[in-house]
Amino acid sequence: MTLPQKNLLADEASPYLRQHAHNPVHWRAWSQAALDEARTLDRPILLSIGYAACHWCHVMAHESFENDEIAGVMNRFFVNIKVDREERPDIDQIYMASLSAMGEQGGWPLTMFLTPGGKPFWGGTYFPPRSRYGRPGFVQVLEAVDKAWREKRASLNQSAGGLITHVAARLSATQPKALLDHETMQRLAVGIEGMIDWTEGGLKGAPKFPNAPFMMTLWLSWLKTRNTSHRDAVLLSLRKMLSGGIYDHVGGGLCRYSTDAEWTVPHFEKMLYDNAQLLRMANWAHATTHDELFRIRIEETIAWLSREMRTDNGAFASSLDADSDGEEGLFYTWSESEVADALQADLPAFAEYYTLAAPANWEGKPIPRQNDEQRTQEVANYPIAAALKSKLLAARAQRVRPGRDDKVLADWNGLLITALAECGRSFGRDDWIDLAAQAFAGILGAAESGRLPHSILGERKLFPALSSDYAAMTTAAVALFEATRKPEYIDTAKSLMEQLEEWHADTDRTGYFLSASDSSDVPIRIRGDVDEAIPSATGQIIEALTRLATATGVIALHEKALTVAEHALGRAGQQTYGQVGIVNSCALTLEPLKLVIVENPSQTGLVAVANRNPDPRRIDILVSVGGTAPKLPGDLLPPTDKPGAYFCLSQSCLPPVIDPGELERLLRSN
């Protein structure tokens, strides 16, 4: 069947796809029908992948996809398919790996040319409409690809076949399993330490990303070995990020990355996953240092998430755009006169806490940031600084807001639910735990026949879920169990893992594919081993299995986690720095920690110690005196007739602790 010769994106659930609904390009969403159309017409596919908050995606759309002449060339030569990479990371990862295999630098928008069968033969990222920036013009590219397709089809088909075979081997193949050991993570941590910018934090050079998986490696190394340089690398990076321009000092929340090496000029899009991971890291940092900067930034970021990112079902939207009113960063930047108008008599205090930074190569208005002294002053005098921020926030509310991508992604929300539950425990904020519970209920309520959707937008849902959705939501369920003591969260976690096993397990039952077995429109079922800004799907699965196994004490679950971890680590050895999420989760599996506390809710000395000493390796189970305690490793059953804390490292447990001070020393030394 040939689809109508018009743009078909208006009815799509993705806000990004709907942004292109009125382009003169005859766009289709990725689907079996679109692929069939390419075969029927015997035309190559022009595949364009982006996301709603992507600045250069907007630029290419305005320059090329809204241009009647360029659209005419696209419609004449190609079947044009648009993909939201956040909706279809399985498709994005295949073709991003294909571009990398061609020796090209990846990024978004991703522009790929495929055979009618969906095999890639050439591609790039952003193309200007006419040749500039050292890049060929898009019309020139379109005409050259059409000419090559007409005159060299056999050669292109052959190279495309070889390329897709190479990508499949890289993303889907098995490798011999590897022995789990602590040395693998330690070697990786030492390598990452060598990349650290010890002046500005983060990795050396620019652009600078938060890079949560790398920071997690260093943090786990510090917890295991007490290597203080690994701890300090994370703390330095967090402090510099949270005082730099990459952090929104007026409204809270972290931007996606900094274009410079000093964290000053951000790429202004704000992503849910970055802020979820920031909350977890800042929580651990606060527990270790008691530096109130981390508490303040956690509170500000959760306030922003609650104020601007919640959707009608209680879960959280995906992102805020980098642009507003057609200009990148316009919503977030300030001229001196705008600050003066907003603050009036309070203007002199502004300079004590913030600087308006305008680097030499920056063409926009200045960006608020802090130096080390100003950061210290803000923490010491936060009520004064908060009052200034409140006035600036009120003034900023009158501006044209950046667009919000309202779709709710199950895996990204799972990351945030875990972070909210953990922060709620650490700071005694039941309202944060309630936010987490409401978001969890909103996503679970969208399930059909026990299966999660990957994406939700109002009444529209995108099925089937990805393996990352089940993993992140399982970890979130365990975190909510720890925070609320409600056993139904464990029951839900078990059900989610059963769905993962049914729809995503490989033939040998030693790992999982990213796409479900009934996803008919994927050219390759990839495993999802490679990290992006968040840990890979495989890394998240191993962590979820480990945490559920530790919470339940079910030996079969722990053995499953070990099996999946060993095989994943074998694959990760081929590209360790791109798969640190797997290495990190393997470290969790190798030596899980379990803390069972028996204590009445009215006597919270032991529980309070556990709450203020969060540890990503540890599962906490809280039992009331007289209640039913779970079994410890070795089938030991702790007595519940009196308060006590039972701390287990892997398969061995220490003697019970009844004194909160002793428990504090124990948790801080292990």
pLDDT tens digits, one per residue of 488-538: 999 999 999 999 999 999 999 999 999 999 998 999 999 999 999 999 999
Task: Specify the pLDDT at position 604.
Answer: 79
pLDDT tens digits, one per residue of 160-176: 999 999 888 888 877 88
pLDDT tens digits, one per residue of 638-651: 899 999 999 999 88
Question: What mean pLDDT, rounded, does the chain reach?
Answer: 94
- pLDDT interval class at 634 (50, 70, 90): confident
The ranges assigned to domains in the chain are: 15-172, 177-404, 407-590, 593-669
Average pLDDT over residues 206-232: 97
CB 53 within 8 A of CB 109: no
Over 94-108, what HEC string results? HHHHHHHHCCCCCCC
CA dist 501 and 399 (Å) reads 48
Looking at the DSSP bridge assignments, the partners of residue 97 are none
CB 399 within 8 A of CB 332: no
Which DSSP symbol is given to 239? Answer: H
Average pLDDT over residues 149-169: 92
Using the predicted structure, report yes or no on whether residue 597 has a pLDDT greater than 70: yes
* % the chain with pLDDT above 70: 99
List of residues 6+ apart from 197 with CB closer than 8 A = 203, 204, 205, 208, 261
List of residues 6+ apart from 288 with CB closer than 8 A = 231, 235
DSSP annotation string for 346-400: GHHHHHHH-EEE--TT--SS-EEE--HHHHHHHHHTHHHHHHHHHHHHHHHTTSP
Count the Cβ atoms, other than its own, within 10 Å of residue 348: 8
Class of domain 407-590: mainly alpha
Average pLDDT over residues 622-630: 90
Average pLDDT over residues 358-384: 93
- What six digits make up the tokens of 300? 């500000």
Average pLDDT over residues 77-101: 95
CATH code of 15-172, in short, is: 3.40.30.10
pLDDT tens digits, one per residue of 239-291: 999 999 999 999 999 999 999 999 999 999 999 999 999 999 999 999 999 99
pLDDT tens digits, one per residue of 416-457: 999 999 999 999 999 999 999 999 999 999 999 999 999 999
Phi, psi of 594 (to 5 degrees): -135, 130
pLDDT tens digits, one per residue of 536-582: 999 999 999 999 999 999 999 999 999 999 999 999 977 779 999 99
- pLDDT interval class at 338 (50, 70, 90): very high
Largest CA distance in the chain: 83
Burial of 614 (0-12, 13-18, 19+ CB in 10 A): buried
Using the predicted structure, report yes or no on whether residue 361 has a pLDDT greater than 90: no
What 3-state DSSP class applies to 653?
A: strand
- pLDDT interval class at 236 (50, 70, 90): very high
- Of the two residues 601 and 319, the one the predictor is more confident about is 319
CB 157 within 8 A of CB 163: no
CA dist 561 and 570 (Å) reads 14
Note if the pTM is more than 0.85. yes
- pLDDT interval class at 1 (50, 70, 90): low
Which residues in 67-100 are b (16+ Cβ under 10 Å) and which e? beebbebbbebbbbbbbbbbbbbbbbbbbbbbbe
- pLDDT interval class at 136 (50, 70, 90): confident
CA dist 424 and 613 (Å) reads 13
CA dist 670 and 637 (Å) reads 23
What 3-state DSSP class applies to 645?
A: strand
Using the predicted structure, report yes or no on whether residue 13 has a pLDDT greater than 70: yes
